[in-house]
Amino acid sequence: MTLQEQSQSMLPALEAELKRQVARFDHPESAGFHEMLSFHMGWSDEASGNPAKRVRPLLMLLVVAACPGQWLRAIPAAAAIELVHNFSLVHDDIQDNSTTRRGRVTAWKKYGVPMAVNMGDALFAISNQAVLDVSAHFPPEVVLAAAASLHAACIALTRGQYLDMSYERRTDLRVDDYWPMVEGKTAALLAASTEMGAILGGAMGDRVRYFAGFGHNVGLAFQVQDDILGIWGDEQATGKSTASDLIEGKNSLPVLHGLAHSPEFAERWAGPAIAPEETPHLAQLLKDEGAFAYCVREAERLTGLAMESLRAADPQGEAGEALRELADTLLQRQS
Amino acid sequence: MTLQEQSQSMLPALEAELKRQVARFDHPESAGFHEMLSFHMGWSDEASGNPAKRVRPLLMLLVVAACPGQWLRAIPAAAAIELVHNFSLVHDDIQDNSTTRRGRVTAWKKYGVPMAVNMGDALFAISNQAVLDVSAHFPPEVVLAAAASLHAACIALTRGQYLDMSYERRTDLRVDDYWPMVEGKTAALLAASTEMGAILGGAMGDRVRYFAGFGHNVGLAFQVQDDILGIWGDEQATGKSTASDLIEGKNSLPVLHGLAHSPEFAERWAGPAIAPEETPHLAQLLKDEGAFAYCVREAERLTGLAMESLRAADPQGEAGEALRELADTLLQRQS
């Protein structure tokens, strides 16, 4: 089975489980709340826009299958990962003042900040219960190990979020400040996805660590790629407006590199918000000082580490093939 | 040992554990975040104001001891309860636009809404890890049962919060709408406190259910008492300005009773915000239509149920005595 064929059996099962988990709020008194959460998850009729890709749970289920283990039994834990991701998106959109996501209006914009804070909390609360639902098929100590992996990622997530927000006011940022932020914001939950997959797939000893390292490095490489696209990307290919990260003032890897190597860029970055018409010049400035080449090198280095970890984890069978295919897809988005 | 003597050994151990849990953020890069959380928890030098009472973890530890079990081993779970309570306070203050709590400025007022959303998330994330820390002393299936109890309470908490917020726009509220809201907002976490105490204290079968019922009814009775004080309370005794609930537009039990029984009150409640000088008349109106008598009766009924559950749970020894004393203190605050 190819990646596509395996996704086609895994994703509907995942979606059904996500709906079952969120239905914990589907009672007469809180039906309105259930509707709000369903809108965010992309299930309500009025929810147009792009469907979510469910990358993290898909990675997890493929790792379970590649151990080899039975992915269907791990479905509640995969739902837990996706619920955590969605809790963080709902709160992220409040924190970043974002009005659209996946082509839809964001939760806080539609329902107000107080309600959206509670929507994120509810998704977080459900995720905790969801991961324990694997108890039906796994011994308690395995369930505890999977839950601990998820909880550690949530702690890292809030730490990364703090760093990201604290950087907004800083003028002395260095490239070294980038890594702890993206480890928390992006890599931690991907590492938990593959680690939980390994735990629930029955992997032992170092293999768990290798699978976790695979997710971790996929996360970092993916983020660096995303940062490259955020400044030099092709709008039609990515759906992001070119150089949007410059306009949004995002402390991405090219920007932190530019602050250290281009006094002209650093001076402009310290000034008022950047206008769209300035971005071609600034993107060129960053390319000239070497930020583009540096970021491409870093993305390649991290992709190499991810693939090395995956080889060491020794994934089995068709799921193993599919994992390599998924990693290739995630890490070569510019092609 | 009296309640006071037992508190004096339990509370310092709890506080040390809370500090140890929050210190998960005490790293060079995130030291600023650790400071923010420490301020909220009341530990930083600038944190004047009133110390928190830590009622929920104290209840839990007394239940453990009264099973009888070893309360010291359950300390991380008690910390988890208090962390959940504090996550909900930080987010509550954002949702209610409250600027002070316990005589101190609130997190969102001091650090901004985006940072305060993340502070609440971080406390929630730590609570999940904290409850698993009892693994050092309990078998995995007991740890899972305690965690499931906490997670269920968190789901109920967000449901109660949704109901509370959704009621703000409603003009057709009835007394029956009150109970599901306060079950989620107040009773669920108190029920989890006593249920987790019973689980970790080694109670079996119906005793776990009785202890949970005790916490549940203490929560409901406490909330009704609080609602009475919020309209007819004595400012000097409670630290709340008399009738503050009327000014804040809170859908408390006396108000919902008044909406059904006093057309004059209902008409005024549907109008613009209530001014302080109007409150003596409105409080009297509610008393005249029978709201005060009704609420006192409900508080007594629920207190009776709480005490009945506690008797059925059959708490042992000095901790059992202390539990009864704590319940008396919580439920007779008007005296």
CATH number at residue A126: 1.10.600.10
Joined together, the tokens standing for residue A85 give: 């991701």
CB atoms within 10 A of CB A8: 11
**CA-based nearest distance B21→chain A, Å:** 11
In a domain, A335, yes or no: no
Contact state of B151 with A125 under an 8 Å Cβ cutoff: yes
Chain B positions touching A180 (Cβ under 8 A) are: 29
Q: Helices H, strands E: what count in chain B?
A: 17, 2
Number of domains chain A contains: 1
Chain B positions touching A152 (Cβ under 8 A) are: 129
Is B104 strand, coil or helix?
A: strand
Q: What is the pLDDT of residue B46?
A: 63
Joined together, the tokens standing for residue A310 give: 């995956």
Longest distance between any two alpha carbons in chain A, whole Å: 61
Contact state of B155 with A122 under an 8 Å Cβ cutoff: yes
Contact state of A29 with B163 under an 8 Å Cβ cutoff: yes
Dihedral of the alpha carbons of B94, B100, B102, B106, in degrees to the nearest 10: 50
In a domain, B188, yes or no: yes
Q: What is the pLDDT of residue B292?
A: 97
Contact state of B118 with A24 under an 8 Å Cβ cutoff: no
Contact state of A165 with B114 under an 8 Å Cβ cutoff: yes
Rounded distance between C-alpha atoms, residue B323 and residue B335, angstroms: 19
H/E stretch holding A105 reads strand A104-105
State pLDDT tens for residues B53-78: 999 999 999 999 999 999 999 999 99
Q: What is the pLDDT of residue B297?
A: 97
In a domain, A211, yes or no: yes
In a domain, B332, yes or no: no
Q: What is the pLDDT of residue B178?
A: 98
In a domain, B328, yes or no: no
Contact state of A117 with B147 under an 8 Å Cβ cutoff: no
Residue of B89, B93, B158 best to disrupt the A interface, most CBs of A under 10 A? B158
Q: Looking at this predicted complex, what is its ipTM?
A: 0.96
**CA-based nearest distance A232→chain B, Å:** 29
Q: What is the pLDDT of residue B334?
A: 44
In a domain, A241, yes or no: yes
Sequence-distant (≥ 6) Cβ neighbours of residue B282 within 8 angstroms:
B243, B246, B265, B268, B274
Within a 13 Å sphere around the CA of B258, how many CA atoms are in the beta-carbon half?
25
- CA distance to A3, A164, A258, A259, per residue, from A267 (Å): 47, 21, 10, 8
Give the bridge partners for A105, in sequence order: A100
For chain A, 335 residues long, the average pLDDT of each consecutive 10-residue run is 93 98 96 97 77 93 98 98 98 96 94 98 98 98 98 98 93 94 98 98 97 98 95 67 83 97 95 93 96 97 97 97 93 59
Residue B94: closest C-alpha in chain A: A114
Structural contact between residues A58 and A11, judged by C-beta atoms closer than 8 angstroms: yes
If you write DSSP's letter for every residue of A224-292 in order, what string do you get? HHHHHHHHH--HHHHSSPTTHHHHTT---HHHHHHHHH-HHHHHHHHSSPPPGGGHHHHHHHHHHHTHH
Q: Which residues of chain B are modeled with pLDDT < 50?
A: 334-335
Q: What is the pLDDT of residue A49?
A: 73
- Domain containing residue A117: 3-326
Partner residue opposite B25 with nearest CB, options A152, A159, A180: A159
In a domain, A141, yes or no: yes
How much is the pTM? 0.96
Rounded distance between C-alpha atoms, residue A83 and residue B91, angstroms: 19
In a domain, B207, yes or no: yes
State pLDDT tens for residues A306-315: 999 999 999 9
Partner residue opposite A151 with nearest CB, options B29, B129, B152: B129
Q: What is the pLDDT of residue B335?
A: 38
Contact state of B159 with A126 under an 8 Å Cβ cutoff: no
Contact state of B151 with A132 under an 8 Å Cβ cutoff: yes
